[in-house]
Structure 1
C-alpha cells in the first residue's frame, strides 16, 4: 500500500514537471501567469481523475467481495481436530466435556456463517469508502474540466 502511494506521488511529480517544461516552451509569449494557471488546472484534473479511477476500482472490488466472499479457509476436519486437542471443562464441574459430531458440525457451520457475514460487512464498509473516493473528487474534476473547455472557446 505504501509503495503504491509513493509510486503515485512520483508519477504526479513527473507529470507536474513535464507540464511545467512543456508549458514554458509553448506559451512563453502569453505570460508566466497563464502557464502556471494551465499547469495547475491540468494537475488538478489529473489528480482528481486518478482519485475517481482508484475509487471506482475499489468499489468494483468491494462489490465483488459482497457478491462472492472468500470461502472460509478451515475445513471441518481441521476444526474437529483442533477442537478435540483443546480441553473443554464444564462450567460448574472440572470434568471434560465431549461434544458429539453433530454438535461440532453445528459450531463449525455457525463459525463459517459468522466469518462470511464479517467479510460481507467489511466489503460493505469498503464500498462506502470507495464511493467517497468517487463522489468527493468528481465535482472538482467536472468544475475544472468546464473551466478548461470555456477557456479554449
Structure 2
C-alpha cells in the first residue's frame, strides 16, 4: 500500500509543479514593461528546478522515515481464515487435517511477514534513492542561484 501512497504524492506534486510552471509562464508573458530576457528565463528555470528538487527531498525524507518505521515496527496484516476447531470427538483423519491446516496457516503467516518485511526494505531503498538523486540537483542549482546573485550585486555596484 505504501508504493501507492508514494505514487499519489508524486502525481499530486507533479501537477502542482506543472500549475506553478504554467502560472509562471503566464506571468512572464503578461509582463509588458520589461522584455523577457534569457537571464530571467534562466532564473525561473533555476528556481523551479530548485523548488522541485527541494520538494523531492522533503517527500523522500518523509517516506524514508515512514518506511524505516514499517521495517522496525511491522504491522501484521495477515488475518487467519476460520480454521477447523479442535474437538475431543474428532476422528483421526479430521485431527490430521486440523494439524495440516495449522501448519499451513503458520507457514502462510511467516511468508506474509517475510514478504512484508522485504517490501518495506525495498521502499526504504526507493525513498532514500529519491533523496540521493534530488539532493545534488538542489545543491547544484541553488549554488548557481547564489553565484548569480553575487555577480548581479557586483555589477550593480
Using the size of structure 1 for normalisation, the TM-score is 0.72
Structure 2 CA distance for aligned equivalents of residues 124 and 112 of structure 1: 18
SS of the residue 2:34 aligns to: coil
Give aligned pairs, total.
Answer: 137
Match of 1:53 among 46, 52, 58: 58
TM normalised by structure 2 equals 0.70
Does 1:42 pair with 2:47? yes
2:38 aligned with 1:28, yes or no? Answer: no
Q: CA deviation at 1:60?
A: 1.6
Q: Which residue is 1:80 aligned to?
A: 83
CA shift digits 1:3-58 (9 cap, x unpaired): 65553233112222343426974x936x6111100000011011111221221122
Mark the runs of 5 or more structure 1 residues left unpaired by the alignment.
83-95
The 3-state SS of whatever aligns with 2:16 is helix
RMSD: 3.1
Over 3 Å counting, the alpha-carbon distance change for 1:146 and 1:115 in structure 2 is same
Point out where structure 2 has 5 or more consecutive residues left out of the alignment.
Answer: 86-92, 151-157
Q: Are 2:149 and 1:152 equivalent residues in the alignment?
A: yes
